[in-house]
Amino acid sequence: MNAPLYSHTFEIKGRDFEHGGEASSEIKETLKRMGINSQIVKRAAIASYEAEMNIIVYADRGELLLEVFPQMIRVTAADRGPGIEDIDLAMKEGYSTAPPEIREMGFGSGMGLPNIKKNSDRLRIESYPGKGTTVIFEIDIRDATL
């Protein structure tokens, strides 16, 4: 793969619910400015938001790397968190390990990873329990005016 046309790294702080979602808002604005089809921008924004909130809910810190290629958007969400014990289980809709206080805030419905999968064309999850998780998803750019 050639070098991306655009790349940017967003630092994410764990438990920072006030600023949570800022990175994905910026990703949405950036992609919109590039003139990418709004449907694709929306998918990328939703998947990025879920990945960002996963870092905020579960990890101490992490980052989102946005890369835009001529044919696709790639987001790499890497955190230093507890990791995922059973990825297959985590992919199940409705499965969540979020504590009650997180659910009271409107998160932890067990739709995060399934939502990322639904909104992307390719998803890869690498996780090392006790060390961290990396979620990489790609969205193909079709009918793009880029």
Binding site for other proteins (CB under 8 A): 17-18, 20-22, 24-25, 28, 38-39, 42, 45-46, 49-50, 53, 103, 105-112, 114-115, 118
Q: How far is 16 from 59, CA to CA, in rounded Å? A: 10
The closest of 105, 20, 4, 97 to 64, measured between CA atoms, is 20
Q: Which long-range contacts (CB under 8 A, 24 or more apart) does 106-111 make?
A: 107/53, 107/57, 108/57, 111/50
The minimum distance between CB 67 and other proteins, in angstroms, equals 20
Contact 83, 127 (CB under 8 A): yes
Nearer to other proteins, 62 or 108 (CB): 108
Question: Which residues neighbour 21 within 8 Å (Cβ) at sequence distance 6 or greater?
Answer: 49, 52, 53
Nearer to other proteins, 89 or 105 (CB): 105
The minimum distance between CB 131 and other proteins, in angstroms, equals 25
The minimum distance between CB 101 and other proteins, in angstroms, equals 12
Nearer to other proteins, 112 or 132 (CB): 112
The minimum distance between CB 130 and other proteins, in angstroms, equals 26
